[in-house]
């Protein structure tokens, strides 16, 4: 939500099904937001304002490096973008059941094993294949 010179960021808390205000981003001359769009993987948010400005924001819960070769961007509790630092290749790992991803390992620089609270995600970084069991 936004008005005049502020953009309000809210987070949904699934444990208590409610939205809570997380932070307020000050943007000079924002006035009214007339357009809003998410990148399909949920990693970026684009805002268009009444004055004609377009602002792009990276949206993530946290980032982590893995063995100096990969970067994990936690877009939500159930979705992580895995980026290979050498090539810049990105793959989105997402639980189809909405389970929180608690641990990720990469084997042979290719195979992704992600543990969720209730399932296991198995992925291949070369073919972009992903299965959840």
Query: Which range is least confidently modeled, 23-27, 81-85, 121-125?
Result: 23-27
Residue 107: alpha-carbon gap to chain centroid: 23
pLDDT of residue 74: 92
pLDDT of amino acid 113? 95
Total-model pTM: 0.73
Q: 90-99 long-range CB contacts below 8 Å, 24 or more apart?
A: 90/41, 91/123, 91/125, 91/128, 92/41, 93/121, 93/123, 93/130, 94/130, 95/119, 95/121, 95/132, 96/132, 97/132
The answer to whether residue 108 scores a pLDDT higher than 90 is: yes
Task: Confirm if 21 and 46 have CB atoms less than 8 A apart.
Answer: no
Query: Which pLDDT belongs to residue 30?
Result: 79
């Amino acid at each position: 939500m936004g008005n005049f010179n502020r953009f309000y960021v809210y987070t949904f808390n699934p444990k208590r099904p409610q939205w809570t205000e997380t932070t307020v981003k000050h943007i000079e001359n924002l006035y009214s937001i007339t357009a809003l769009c998410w990148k399909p993987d949920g990693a970026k948010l684009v805002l268009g304002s009444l004055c004609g400005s377009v602002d792009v924001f990276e949206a993530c819960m946290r980032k982590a490096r893995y063995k100096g070769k990969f970067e994990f961007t936690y877009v939500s509790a159930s979705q992580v973008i895995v980026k290979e630092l050498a090539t810049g290749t990105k793959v989105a790992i997402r639980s189809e059941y909405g389970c929180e991803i608690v641990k990720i390992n990469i084997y042979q620089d290719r195979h992704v094993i992600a543990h969720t609270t209730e399932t296991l995600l198995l992925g291949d970084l070369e073919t972009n294949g992903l299965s959840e069991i």
